[in-house]
Amino acid sequence: MAEKRSLELILHNEVQELLDNFASVMRVHVVFFGRDGEVLRQGRGEGNCRFCQLVQQRFSVEKCLKLDREKQDLARRTGRCQIYLCHAGLWEAIMPVMPGGELLGYVVFGQIRSSELPDTKFKAAFPARVRKELESSFRSLPHFSADGMDSLAGLMKLLVDYIVRSELITLGGDYLYRAAVRYIEENLTRNITLPETARHLGRSVSSLSHFLQQEGTTFKKLLIEKRLSHAEKLLKAHPEMTIKEAADRSGFGDAYYFSRLYRQYRGRTPGEFRKKP
């Protein structure tokens, strides 16, 4: 299967092998979706099972898609796997892929029956000529209890964690840079480090450091720049604030150190900036 790319996300080839193996061993349907809903990878390259095809031929596919969208949105908002029964009685699950709180996509797995036979009332909605095939195709699917689905979701989480930790998902440059900047800006007053930031973003220290070097900076420089910019905003917005207060609220524990860095990076003192911004 040819590798597909979203605008900001690249899945490495090993992901396909992992999804294929998971789908084969567990006999489930597995799809890796991008953030915007595009199919990036599909376990064993398989589409809908025959049972789902029959259901969607009888009923509008929009009913399935609506429920999927609702659960996808819930997974995004909670950051947790959502397990649910579709209207045809099949288990489905949506696992958000969110290293560092950033949504990269979703792993969806399912087409798993929740009972021995399809619901009698549901089956009665089909013409008599297709009921036998409907039941046969339903029984061919794997059968899991609710507890079994929880265990399966746990295995899938381990797989997703491995994919993220092994950097089989590569963030596009603009996306990764924005994520790094956002994390720094949200933690300016803490003594954050490169290893902590890399861990938050789901990257190794060496890969994040190399990426920032390609962007023409380092973690230390980026952190200092964001702290200096924050201090400038404070000094501009609050004329009554002292330079020491602005330094403290921007992550600089020492006003002298802040002034020295400001002169080094800006070519003037904070007092001169305040007088002539």
- Domain parsing of the chain, residue ranges: 9-170, 172-275
Q: Domain 172-275 belongs to what topology? A: Arc Repressor Mutant, subunit A (1.10.10)
Q: Domain 9-170 belongs to what topology? A: Beta-Lactamase (3.30.450)
Q: pLDDT at position 201, please?
A: 83
Bridge-based pairing of strands 29-34 and 105-113 is antiparallel
> Whole-number mean pLDDT of the chain?
89
pLDDT digits (tens, 9 = 90+) for 204-257: 899 899 999 988 999 999 999 999 999 999 999 999 999 999 999 999 989 999
pLDDT digits (tens, 9 = 90+) for 137-174: 999 999 999 999 999 999 999 999 898 877 787 666 67
Spatial contact of 49 and 27, defined as CB atoms under 8 Å apart: no
Q: pLDDT at position 132, please?
A: 95
Q: pLDDT at position 170, please?
A: 66
pLDDT digits (tens, 9 = 90+) for 4-42: 434 356 677 788 899 999 999 999 999 999 888 888 888
Spatial contact of 131 and 48, defined as CB atoms under 8 Å apart: no
- More confident site: 189 or 179: 189
Q: Do domains 9-170 and 172-275 have the same CATH topology?
A: no
Q: Tell me the residue ranges of DSSP E strands in the chain.
A: 9-11, 29-34, 39-42, 82-85, 90-97, 105-113, 169-171
Question: CA–CA separation, 21 vs 23, rounded Å?
Answer: 5
For a pLDDT cut of 70, what percent of the chain falls above it? Answer: 95
For a pLDDT cut of 90, what percent of the chain falls above it? Answer: 69
Confidence grade of residue 2 (pLDDT, cut at 50, 70, 90): very low
| pLDDT at 101 exceeding the cut of 50 | yes
| pTM of this structure | 0.66
The DSSP string of 105-123 is EEEEEEEEESSSS--HHHH
Q: pLDDT at position 45, please?
A: 81
| 138: Cβ contacts below 8 Å, ≥ 6 apart | 51, 89, 113, 117, 118
Q: pLDDT at position 4, please?
A: 42
Spatial contact of 214 and 239, defined as CB atoms under 8 Å apart: no
Question: CA–CA separation, 158 vs 81, rounded Å?
Answer: 12
Q: pLDDT at position 10, please?
A: 62
